[in-house]
Amino acid sequence: MSSATCPVCDAAIQAADDVMEGELLTCTDCGMELEVASLSPLTLVEAPEVQEDWGE
């Protein structure tokens, strides 16, 4: 397992060895949805909010 730190609350996040860049994880401490930004080293960022495009 790989580990990284939550960018919001600094909690330790465990990720499976087969985690992929762009995959979404949830912080077990603060509940924030995080995106895997890079694999080496494992880096997490806040996942962007999905916005409605209203058919544009």
- Model pLDDT for residues 1-56, shown as the tens digit of each residue: 889 999 999 999 999 999 999 999 999 999 999 999 999 999 999 998 876 666 66
Shortest CA distance to 34 belongs to which of 6, 10, 12, 14? Answer: 6
CB 54 within 8 A of CB 42: no
Q: So what's the pLDDT on residue 1?
A: 83
User: Pseudo-torsion of CA 8, 11, 15, 21, nearest 10°?
Assistant: 20
Question: Is residue 53 one of the residues assigned to a domain?
Answer: no
Q: So what's the pLDDT on residue 49?
A: 81
Count how many domains the chain has: 1
Where does the chain show beta strands of DSSP type E? 2-5, 12-15, 24-26, 33-39, 42-46
pTM listed for this prediction:
0.82
What residue numbers bound the domain in which 41 lies? 2-46
CATH, residue 34: 2.20.28.160
Q: So what's the pLDDT on residue 55?
A: 66
